[in-house]
Amino acid sequence: DIQMTQSPSALSASVGDRVTITCRASQSISNWLAWYQQKPGKAPKLLMYEASRLESGVPSRFSGSGSGTEFTLTISSLQPDDFATYYCHHYDTYSWTFGQGTKVEIK
Amino acid sequence: QLQLQASGPGLVNPSETLSLICSVSGGSISSTNYYWGWIRQPPGKGLEWIGSMYYSGSTYYKPSLKSRVTIFIDTSKNQFSLRLSSVTAADSAVYYCGRHSRLKDAFDIWGQGTMVTVSS
């Protein structure tokens, strides 16, 4: 099975900061990677799919990149609404795998 | 706008079977473009995929849970269900149902989640 590993597990940042979260796959997954945002007590929300495609309605300050085994989610200018936990996710032939999450906290 | 609503008992006794329903509104569950899945999240922990199914009835389960999980669909009621047998405290979690888009290869719509506690 493919394993997804995120780093860091948590980070502290200030409003306006540029934030980058990394997700690594245990083997090449082409660009089949999605990113979700989850706020406390809420269901996850899809942000990006196919590594770099922005889901409809998601602010353009979010961007994704990468292919193969290494991927990044970047928030260009962190906003108060962005403090949340972020998960990467890969689907491959009837197997769905999530990363362990990265919590973005207020500095 | 399609919506998912998970429902079921909030408390289950150890060794018994957890049963949840996900009701789909605003769209048909009988679409070739989607899988329908269950994901859970223990308190303070990350997301864990449990299993998914296609409207035709094909099912796919996480290997470590496969012996205890059944997911089935009722197209006439536009809903799908989860059964998890022989539960223990480790199965206590928020259970989410979700729609997986085959176009995006991602869960693009999620239900609100329902907390299930396993305790006597």
- Position A12 scores a pLDDT of 97
A94 — pLDDT class (breaks 50, 70, 90)? confident
* A74-99 mean pLDDT: 95
Angle (CA) A96-A5-B69 rounded to 5° is 30
* A62-67 mean pLDDT: 98
- Per residue, the 3-state secondary structure of chain B, as one string, reads CCEEEEECCCEECCCCCEEEEEEEECCCCCCCCEEEEEEEECCCCCCEEEEEEECCCCEEECCCCCCCEEEEEECCCCEEEEEECCCCHHHCEEEEEEEEECCCCEEEEECCCEEEEECC
pLDDT tens per residue, range B88-110: 999 999 999 999 999 999 999 99
Q: Which residues of B touch A94 (CB under 8 A)?
A: 52, 60
- Position A1 scores a pLDDT of 85
- Position B91 scores a pLDDT of 98
Q: Which residues of A touch B101 (CB under 8 A)?
A: 49
Tell me the shortest Cα–Cα distance from B5 to chain A, in angstroms. 11
A93 — pLDDT class (breaks 50, 70, 90)? confident
pLDDT tens per residue, range A28-46: 999 999 999 999 999 999 9
Residue A79 identity: Q
Q: Which residues of B touch A100 (CB under 8 A)?
A: 46
- Position A54 scores a pLDDT of 98
- Position A76 scores a pLDDT of 98
A95 — pLDDT class (breaks 50, 70, 90)? confident
Tell me the shortest Cα–Cα distance from B47 to chain A, in angstroms. 6
CA dist A89 and A97 (Å) reads 6
pLDDT tops 90 at residue A92: no
* B46-75 mean pLDDT: 95
pLDDT tops 90 at residue A15: yes
